[in-house]
Chains A and B, each alone.
Chain A
Amino acid sequence: MFDYFDLSRPEVDLDGLADEDIAIDVRDLSLKFGSKLALKDIRMRIPKRQITSVIGPSGCGKSTLLGCFNRLNDLTPGCEVQGEVYINERNIYHRKEDVAALRSRVGMVFQRPNPFPMSIYENLVYGLKIQGIRDRRTLDNAAEQALRDVALWKEVRDRLFDSALTLSGGQQQRLVIARAIALQPDILLLDEPTSALDPISTLTIEELITQLKEKYTVLIVTHNMQQAARVSDFTAFLHQGSLIEYSDTNRLFTRPKQQQTEEYITGRYG
C-alpha cells in the first residue's frame, strides 16, 4: 500500500528482528523469592534503542523483571534465578559476571527521585569518581553532557554547586536520570519514573524518555497504561509472573491477541 501521509510508524514484528537489533535477550527466565515463584519462564527479546514498557497489575512481577536486568534482585535474600539474560552477547547471570560493571552499563531510576544529599554536580560525577576518574575536565564535560541530555542544563547551570535537594521533584527525577546517563550506560531501566510527579513534570519526563531512545535502550515499568501507550514502541503485559503478551505498542493497544490483555487494558480486570 502507498503511504500518503506521515502518520504513526508501521507496526514491527518482534520475531522478525535481527539479533544485532536486540539489546536484551531473556531466555526462559524464572525467579523465586524463597518458595514464591515471582517470574515464570519469561522469554522476550528487547530491541535496541527502542522504548519497551512493562505493564500489569500490582505484584505481577514488573519491577522484579526490571531488577533482573541489572541483577538488583540479587540483593534480596532468598532470591533464586533460573534461565539466562543476554546483554551484549553475555549471559549476565554467568557466575563470572562483574555485577558492579553491569550496573554501570544498565542504569536504573526509581519511582521516588533519590538524589544524593550533595550538590547537583557531585550527584552527576559520583559514579565516575567511584570508577576512578579524577580528571576535572572529563568530569565537567560528562556532567554538562548528562544535564543537556535530560534538558536540565539551562535550568541549573548557574547553581551546579547548590544542594540537589533544592530542586523540584520533576527536576530531581531528571537529575537522577542524568546521574545514570553520566556513566554512559547502554540500557536505562525506569521503574515507575513519574508516579510521584505532577502531570506537567510527568509530560516533561515522557518527552525526555522519547529523546533518550536515540542513544539508549529504555525499559519502563509503569502503572499508567496511557503512559505506556504514549511513550513506548513495544509493550509487554505481565500477569502473575507470566508474560501474557508482548508486541508492538500500536498493536497491543488496538488489537491485543490475548483475552487477558484485552481485559486489563480496557479496565475490566485489575
Chain B
Amino acid sequence: MQTIKLNTHISGRFNQELENLRNSVLTMGGVVEQQLCDAISALRDNNRGLAEKVVLNDIMVNNMEVQIDEECTRIIAKRHPAASDLRLVLAINKATTDIERIGDEVERIAKLILKGNLPVSEDIKNGMIATGNHVMEMLRQTLNAFARMDAEAAMSIHIGDQEIDEQYKQLLTQAVEEMRQDTDALPQWLEILWAMRSLERVGDRCKNVCEYIIYLVKGKDVRHISRHAMQEKLRELR
C-alpha cells in the first residue's frame, strides 16, 4: 500500500474537494476538542456559563456532521472515487459520526454541571478531571494521526485506550464505595456515573476513528478483532 496524496489528481477541482473534505473533518474535530476542553474546565471550576456554552455549541457540531455527510454523498455521486479516494470518503463519513457522538458525550458532561449535580467528593471530581485530560489528549492525538494519515500512530493510540478503561474502572470502584455511604444522593450519583461513562466512551470513539485511519491508509478492516490479531494484520502490511 502506498502513501496517500490528496492533491495529485489530474482534476484540480477534485483535489480541492477532497482537501476541503479532509479539512472540514479536522475543523469539526477541533471544535469538539475545544468543547471537551471547555467541559473539563467547567467541571473543575464549576463554571455554569462555560457549561452552557458547551451545550449550545453542540448544535454546531451536529450541523457540521450533516454538512460533511452531504459532501461525501455528493463526491460519491459525482466523482465515483476509487481506491484510496474511496476509502478516504468512507473513512471520513464514518469518522464524522463518531466525532459527532464525542460531541454528545461532552454535552452530557456539561449538562451535569448545568444541573448542579457535581460530585460532592473531591476525589471523584479530580478523578474525572484526570480521565478527562487523558481522553482529551487521546482525541488530540487521534486528530493529528488523521491529519497526517498515520496508521502507526493510530495503532498506538488504539492500544492506549486500555489505560483509559483502567482509569474508568478504578474511578467506578471508588464511586461505588462512596455511594454506599451516601445513599440519599443516589439520583445525583446516577448522573455522575453517566458522565463518567461518557468520558470513557470518548476514548472508545477515538479508538473507532483510529480504526478508520488504519482502513484508510492500509486498506485493512481491523474492527472487531483482538489487539493481537490487529497487530498481526498490520505487521503483514508493513
Contacts and interface: CB of A to CB of B under 8 A. Distances in A.
A269 B84 CA distance: 14
Interface residues of A, number: 17
Given A254-B219, A255-B219, A262 B83 contact: yes
A254 B9 contact: no
A232 to B, nearest CB: 14
Given A259-B2, A262-B2, A253 B82 contact: yes
Contacts of B8: 263, 268
Contact of A267 (B1, B9, B87): B9
B180 interface: no
Nearest to A251: B219
A167 to B, nearest CB: 31
B10 interface: yes
Interface in B1-45: 1-2, 8-11, 14
Interface in A248-270: 253-256, 259, 261-263, 265-270
Interface residues on B, range: 10 to 19
Nearest to B5: A268
Interface string B63-103: 00000000000000000111111110000000000000000
A81 interface: no
A266 B82 contact: yes
Given A259-B2, A262-B2, A267-B14, A253 B83 contact: yes
Nearest to B81: A266
Contacts of A225: 82
Interface string A63-90: 0000000000000000000000000000
B161 to A, nearest CB: 24
A226 B81 CA distance: 10
A208 interface: no
B219 A229 contact: no
Contacts of A253: 82-83, 86
A266 B87 contact: no
A226 to B, nearest CB: 5
Contacts of B80: 226, 229
Nearest to B220: A255
Contacts of B9: 266-268
A254 B87 contact: yes
Contact of A254 (B10, B14, B83): B83
Given A254-B219, A255-B219, A266 B84 contact: yes
Interface in B167-202: none
Interface string A198-224: 000000000000000000000000000
Contacts of A266: 9, 81-85
Contacts of B84: 262, 266
Contacts of B82: 225, 229, 253-254, 265-266
13 contacts: A229-B80, A253-B83, A254-B82, A254-B83, A254-B86, A254-B219, A255-B1, A255-B219, A259-B2, A261-B83, A262-B2, A262-B84, A267-B10
Interface of A: 225-226, 229, 253-256, 259, 261-263, 265-270
Given A255-B1, A255-B83, A266-B85, 6 more contacts: A254-B82, A254-B86, A255-B87, A255-B219, A266-B81, A270-B10
